[in-house]
Structure formats: structure tokens, C-alpha cells
Structure 1
Amino acid sequence: MHFEHLIEINDLANPDVPDLTREEVWFGLLCRAEDPRPFLPGLEACEILTREDTMLTRKLDFGQVVIHDTVRWEPLEWISFESRANDEHPAGLLTISLEQPAPETPALFLRFAYRTGLSETVGEDAKYADFVRSAYHQSDVDTVRVIRMIAESTRTE
């Protein structure tokens, strides 16, 4: 299954919601890499196994399911989360890209792009594709909400 969508970060028509900078959004995405518990309901623990300049490997403990993944990034541009398949979990890839159509404006978006082994057209998987897309979208909305909370908590005014 391939699923992709955009979420607008700064609502230029709503002055009541503070704009986030590219740097604040990026910091939130790095927080998701370092400690994904606030972003992933049900995650009990995250252990960083290896660390390089632009890559982490992690062990994610959801209780009954343990997932190993690799996080890679290009600073201020994109971050990807690639999970390895095991008996309880299929392999998958999520790439989150920061998009700013006009650098001189605060317009800012996150593009979420998923690739999984779930079939959208064949067998039992096809029955669940719409549900999975909906769950991914809601998770991504929640990610932006958590990033906004992190940014607001770190601002000094």
C-alpha cells in the first residue's frame, strides 16, 4: 500500500493559532525519533541501539510486539522511519518531508508518505486498506498536535 497526504502546519487564515517555524517543526520530528512515546499510543519503551550523525536504529517495545526500525534524516528536509518485518509486524516505511512553497512566507506543510506490504486490491488486506489510511491520517494529525505542544513548551517569551 502506498498512501500520501499533506498536513498544513500554519493556518495563514487563522491568526489565533501561533505559526511554527521550520526549525520548531524539525525539532519536533527529531523528538519523535529520540522518544516516540508521546507520538505512538501504546508504546511502552524505546531503546536507541545505534546512533550516527543522520541515523538511529531503535527497538520499540509495544508490550506484545517489539519492532526494530531505522530512522534516517536530512536536517530540516525529511525524516524516514523504516521498520523491519517480524512475525507480528510487516515491514514499512514512513517518510515525513517538510515543504515550504515560498520561503519568504510562513506557509509550511508536512508530507507523510507511507509504503507498506499491505495490498490495496487483493485478499483480506484490501478490506483493511481504508481503515489503515484513516488510522495513519489520524496518527499524523496527532503528530502535528504533539509537535505544536513541544514548540509551545520550549518558547521563551
Structure 2
Amino acid sequence: MPTTFNYAFSAPINPPNVTPTLTKPQVWAGLERKMRFAHEFVPVITSCEVLEDKDGVVTRVVKFEEGTGPGMDVAKEVVKGFKPAWVDFEQENGAHIRNVISETDAGLFMTYMFEIRYGKDLKGDEADTEYERMAKHAVDSSIDVMREMVKDGRVQ
């Protein structure tokens, strides 16, 4: 029986002692880039082919390292940007991921929400713990990539 993994994780975009400080427009520009160049942000994605890019909606095919994808090694996705707050990624199998920029009195935060559908049965807390670890890493590593892109000029 297929398994659905639901999880959300938030992290501060500008924790203390990290430079440069990212602005909301820079983070949004990073998410727009992620829509088209997923492999730059997600280490287990080996390629991202954009099939269509029209009116803020990107249809793409992403390939995962063998055995690392959500129950598949290739996924077709429709990605929609909702400037300046979030990006939705929806896969053909109904899986849904949302990347959200939020503002609080404590600063900017990035939240990733996952509704991943696996074609196989996953059991136990160990599987949940592993996917939660991967979800947390996805948020932190995306912020780190955006910061590097600001440093090297790929994101303004």
C-alpha cells in the first residue's frame, strides 16, 4: 500500500552571524531560480528539464539519483510561483511540496511543507525520522545555496 509522508519545517533565513543577510526579494529570486534549476538546490536531483515556462508556471521533468526520489527516479512537476510568498511543486502522482517565505518580528523564515506519496509501503518511526531529517536538510541547504548565489551574483 502506498505511503504518504506529511511534514513541515521552518528555519530562519538570516540566523545570527551569517552573511550576507538575505532580503525577501533575494530569497524570492532564489525560489524563482529553483523553479527552473532544481538541481542547483537539491543535491539528489541530477537534472531539471524545463518543458514549458509560461505566466509564472513551469512544467519540468526532474531526475533523481537512483533510489533517492519519492518512490521514483523521474518526476514530472508543475511548479507555480505566488510572488512574493511561496512556490508550489506538484508531481503527477499527486505529491505536493510548498516552499514559503514568511515574515515575523524575528525576521524572515523559510518553511517547506511536504506531502510526498511513495509507491511503496514505508513503515515505522525510523522511516519518518529519516524523511524528517531530509526535509530539514532541504530547507537549510536551499537557504545556504541562495546565500552563495547572492555572493557570486547569480541572484541579485
Of 16, 37, 47 in structure 1, the residue corresponding to residue 39 of structure 2 is 37
**CA shift in 2, pair 1:24/1:45, >3 Å:** same
Summarize deviations over 1:55-84 as a string: whole Å, max 9, x none. 111011236522111101111110011122
Q: Which residue pairs with 1:7 in the alignment?
A: 11
The 2-side partners of 1:136 and 1:153 are apart by 26
Q: Percent same amino acid among aligned pairs?
A: 21
Give the structure 2 partner of residue 24 of structure 1.
26
C-alpha displacement at 1:17, in angstroms?
A: 2.5
The answer as to 2:112 corresponding to 1:112 is yes
Q: Secondary structure at the match of 1:19?
A: coil
Structure with higher strand content: 2
Q: Which residue of 2 aligns with 1:88?
A: none
Larger radius of gyration: 1
Per-residue deviation, 1:116: 2.1
TM-score of the two chains, using structure 1 as the length reference = 0.79
Preserved contact between residue 4 and residue 112 of structure 1 (Cα < 8 Å): yes
* Residue in 2 that maps onto 1:152: 151
CA contact (8 A) 2:86 2:101 kept: yes
Tell me which residue corresponds to 2:102. Answer: 99
Q: Is the 8 A contact 1:25 1:151 kept in 2?
A: no
TM-score (normalised: structure 2) = 0.80
8 Å CA contact 2:49, 2:60 repeated in 1: yes
Count of aligned pairs: 141
Q: Post-superposition shift, 1:117?
A: 3.1
Aligned to 1:131: 130
Residue 80 of structure 2 aligns to a residue in which SS? strand
Secondary structure in structure 2 of the residue aligned to 1:95: strand
Partner of 1:72: 80
- Aligned amino acid, residue 99 of structure 2: I
Alignment-mate amino acid for residue 47 of structure 2: A
- Match of 1:49, SS? strand
Structure 1 residue 125, shift from structure 2 partner: 3.1
Task: Give the drift of 1:43.
Answer: 2.6
For residue 108 of structure 1, give the secondary structure of its aligned residue in structure 2.
strand
Give the superposed CA RMSD: 2.1
8 Å CA contact 2:101–2:108 kept in 1: the answer is: yes
Once the two structures are TM-superposed, the CA of residue 108 in structure 1 deviates from its matched residue by: 0.7
Where do residues 45-56 of structure 1 align in structure 2 (5 Å cutoff)? Answer: 45-56=47-58
Counterpart CA distance in 1 for 2:92 and 2:117 is 11
Higher RCO, 1 or 2 (CA under 8 Å, sep at least 6)?
A: 2
